[in-house]
Structure 1
Amino acid sequence: MTNFRTYRPSVRVGNWREDVTLEEDSLRDFLHRKDRGELSIQRTGLLRQSILKPVSLSVSGDGCLRFGETVMLVNSGGTDLDPREPCSLSIVADLSNMSSHSQASSDPGLHGPCQVGGASSLKPCVRNALVITSVDGTPDGELLRYEQSFALRTTGGFAGELYLASDHRTFQKCAKRSRLQEVSLVEQLNFLCWWRVVYFDPQERLEQEGCPVQGNLKVLISHCKTNQCLAALANHELWTPFGKEYEIVAHTFLDSHKAERDSNHWLFVTADPGQEEQSLLQRPQASDDTYENGSDIKAITDTPQEAES
């Protein structure tokens, strides 16, 4: 009689039975969400895998940029007096930005608004690939010219075709760290998404108006509504799901000569014609180092006048 069990889980009643039922329901819900891939750890892995997927940039035969081309927007970095690593304008997204494009499709994708940041990685991927988009009816394949309005959007598929936008800063809407004019990615294309390319040298800016924009050279990217230039702030860093990155804002920084500072200098980076899966920034130079290691920054960022001299 001493080995006979008079108590079994089946005789539990009241709160005891309620606790057992809740545990069974929680386990059943967990297994159901796991089978559908809805767990946070699964969604986080899918986000990183999808957003870091390599992308092939467009190849420019004559060096000029055209509407419809896929490029990477890279800040040229600092100088010897103000050292700062180059960075690429990249999507900053988390699980709150993931959703299905439609109820009929279960394919995940990003929805706006999304933040942007200056990532140190210069490898072309879904996160930093942008498409030059027309806003005035110019067909794809036509040359992009200085002072011509255009839009920058993310690639299709997982990136969701979001548009780079900005607006005047307010107390409720501004950059988190610097409190300057915020830059983000939105779903709807409107006047807030209009940008224009400004020639790098202020003394020849008027003469270059209407000329084709050359890729892989320093330019300024000005917001049409606010007339503020895109900038990467090295002294304001953000912690993102992808690490520490520079804050991206729309603000024109001028030096004592009324010329834009290095934080406003950008490059439209295209693919290497000899190897389309990598950008010109990754092309091996005379040494074994690449641009990502900081070896040949000047060769890429020189303007035509500087290169001739």
Structure 2
Amino acid sequence: MANVRTYSPSVRVGNWNEDLCLEEDTLKDFLDKRDSGELLVQKTHNLLQNTLKKVDLSVTTDGLLHFGDTVMIVNPGAERNDVRDIRQRDPTALCLNISEYKAHLAAQVEAPCPVSASRIIKPCIRNAFVITSVDGTPNGQPLRYGQDFALSTTEGYAGNLKLHSDRVSFLKCAKKSRQQEVSLVSDLTHFTRWKTIAFEPQLRMEYEGLPVQANVKLLITHCKTHQHLNIAQDYVARTPFGYEYEVTAHMDLDSHRAEKETNHWVIITGTPTDDGRTMFDKPRPDPSGLTDRPMEGTGEIRNAGLDPKQTKPPPKTEEKPTMEEMLTQIEQTAKGGEAPLQTQ
């Protein structure tokens, strides 16, 4: 208890002058850091503001993906088939996973940068990617199945980095799952080339060379290793934005040699409206044709947009006569000789 202060610095007890100077230096240091933006709360605010800044996705007019489009790479998730099934997974978006330490030191995202799968599926700096050509195809041309391309982050704070992967080695692999690592690098090489494969296994040869439709399920495969972009749903990592899934390059097959939900991806584009929605939020048509069902992860039901004048009214059902009406009709028939009442 000898070194514990029992009085405030204004009380002239002990080394009161030294305590006053120390308190003034602490306050001065705090004010200097606040003015220069070096406080931890300021750095965290800047990190969230830079990475979660809204991005406008490209709007497709022909329903196809084109080189130069700004899109999101979303995994639709896994539905729960049983109440006891714990492997239900919400839709997640591929995003850059910048460390908090590097974010506080650098003005933009620097390579190499890991990636992860986040439940935040609103378009922002963190999860927006640009379809980049690697074979000289000009921007605006449609992307085709089997054609090599690169996925780049946006310009500016995201650093225009490319999605990269390489074979698993003893020193180079994913931290938790030990599968093939996926990260972001600055150089455009053969390791940054990817291609799309049709979702239906029996129609993949027929789809080869055809334009890729936007907002449909497909597979994204690494050209060098032929491994699919995958979500390691059994492994999560702690990030400044919460717990997120690890993203790897791995061909996850079931007992029928078919790809599981962790290999399924949807390349999302924007909507023509200005409400901040994406095509992933757009409702799907209901089989009845009267209402729309939302995509997974949304809870809205909107009208299908049909003209009320063009919709056919429901057919009228004929009401059966009551017992009193039947007796009255029989009496009138007996008196006047009319045809007997026919009931259906």
Distance 2:13 2:299 in 1: 76
- The answer as to whether partners of 1:91 and 1:128 remain within 8 angstroms in 2 is yes
- The residue that corresponds to 1:85 in the other structure is 90
- The residue that corresponds to 1:248 in the other structure is 247
1:183 aligns with 2:182: yes
Matches within 5 A, 1:35-114: 35-81=35-81, 83-98=88-103, 108-114=107-113
* Amino acid aligned to 1:257: H
- The answer as to whether partners of 1:97 and 1:112 remain within 8 angstroms in 2 is no
* Amino acid aligned to 1:95: E
In structure 2, do the counterparts of structure 1 residues 239 and 6 end up closer, same or farther at CA, with 3 Å as the change threshold? closer
Runs of 4+ more than 6 Å apart: 5-10, 19-23, 287-290
1:292 aligns with 2:297: yes
In structure 2, do the counterparts of structure 1 residues 288 and 225 end up closer, same or farther at CA, with 3 Å as the change threshold? closer
Distance 1:289 1:220 in 2: 23
- What are the ranges of 5 or more consecutive residues in structure 1 without an aligned counterpart? 11-15, 102-107, 297-309
Report the alpha carbon displacement of residue 29 of structure 1 after superposing the two structures with TM: 4.3
Report the alpha carbon displacement of residue 63 of structure 1 after superposing the two structures with TM: 0.8
Report the alpha carbon displacement of residue 39 of structure 1 after superposing the two structures with TM: 2.3
1:157 aligns with 2:156: yes
**Normalised by the size of structure 1, how large is the TM-score?**
0.81
More moved, 283-292 vs 200-209? 283-292
In structure 2, do the counterparts of structure 1 residues 290 and 75 end up closer, same or farther at CA, with 3 Å as the change threshold? closer
- The residue that corresponds to 2:238 in the other structure is 239
* Amino acid aligned to 2:47: L
- The answer as to whether partners of 1:237 and 1:244 remain within 8 angstroms in 2 is yes
- The residue that corresponds to 1:261 in the other structure is 260
1:173 aligns with 2:165: no
- The residue that corresponds to 1:307 in the other structure is none
In structure 2, do the counterparts of structure 1 residues 33 and 6 end up closer, same or farther at CA, with 3 Å as the change threshold? closer
- The answer as to whether partners of 2:71 and 2:128 remain within 8 angstroms in 1 is yes
Q: What's the CA shift string for 1:137-171, capped at 9, x where partnerless?
A: 11111111111111101111111111111111222
Report the alpha carbon displacement of residue 284 of structure 1 after superposing the two structures with TM: 5.1
* Amino acid aligned to 1:210: G
Distance 1:95 1:142 in 2: 38
Distance 2:59 2:186 in 1: 27
- The answer as to whether partners of 2:43 and 2:104 remain within 8 angstroms in 1 is no
Distance 1:256 1:275 in 2: 44
Report the alpha carbon displacement of residue 26 of structure 1 after superposing the two structures with TM: 5.6
- The residue that corresponds to 2:341 in the other structure is none
Distance 1:40 1:91 in 2: 21
- Report how many residues are paired: 279
**Normalised by the size of structure 2, how large is the TM-score?**
0.73
Distance 2:262 2:272 in 1: 28
- What are the ranges of 5 or more consecutive residues in structure 2 without an aligned counterpart? 1-11, 82-86, 285-290, 302-344
Distance 2:75 2:138 in 1: 28
1:227 aligns with 2:226: yes
Tell me the SS of whatever aligns to 1:182: strand
- The answer as to whether partners of 2:76 and 2:296 remain within 8 angstroms in 1 is no
Tell me the SS of whatever aligns to 2:71: strand
Distance 1:201 1:188 in 2: 33
Distance 1:84 1:6 in 2: 63
- The residue that corresponds to 2:121 in the other structure is 122
Tell me the SS of whatever aligns to 2:207: coil
Tell me the SS of whatever aligns to 1:257: coil
Q: What's the CA shift string for 1:16-58, capped at 9, x where partnerless?
A: 6xx8877766654443332121222211110011111111111
In structure 2, do the counterparts of structure 1 residues 40 and 179 end up closer, same or farther at CA, with 3 Å as the change threshold? same
Distance 2:275 2:123 in 1: 11
Report the alpha carbon displacement of residue 201 of structure 1 after superposing the two structures with TM: 1.4
Report the alpha carbon displacement of residue 92 of structure 1 after superposing the two structures with TM: 1.3
- The answer as to whether partners of 2:134 and 2:149 remain within 8 angstroms in 1 is yes
Distance 1:6 1:199 in 2: 80
- The answer as to whether partners of 2:271 and 2:277 remain within 8 angstroms in 1 is yes
Residue identity (%)? 47
Report the alpha carbon displacement of residue 9 of structure 1 after superposing the two structures with TM: 6.5
Larger RCO (CA within 8 A; separation ≥ 6): 1
Tell me the SS of whatever aligns to 1:197: strand
Report the alpha carbon displacement of residue 229 of structure 1 after superposing the two structures with TM: 0.4
Report the alpha carbon displacement of residue 188 of structure 1 after superposing the two structures with TM: 1.9
In structure 2, do the counterparts of structure 1 residues 168 and 27 end up closer, same or farther at CA, with 3 Å as the change threshold? farther
Distance 1:255 1:128 in 2: 29
Report the alpha carbon displacement of residue 275 of structure 1 after superposing the two structures with TM: 4.0
Distance 2:80 2:21 in 1: 67
Report the alpha carbon displacement of residue 245 of structure 1 after superposing the two structures with TM: 1.2
In structure 2, do the counterparts of structure 1 residues 74 and 7 end up closer, same or farther at CA, with 3 Å as the change threshold? closer
In structure 2, do the counterparts of structure 1 residues 288 and 149 end up closer, same or farther at CA, with 3 Å as the change threshold? closer
In structure 2, do the counterparts of structure 1 residues 149 and 254 end up closer, same or farther at CA, with 3 Å as the change threshold? same
Distance 2:200 2:281 in 1: 26
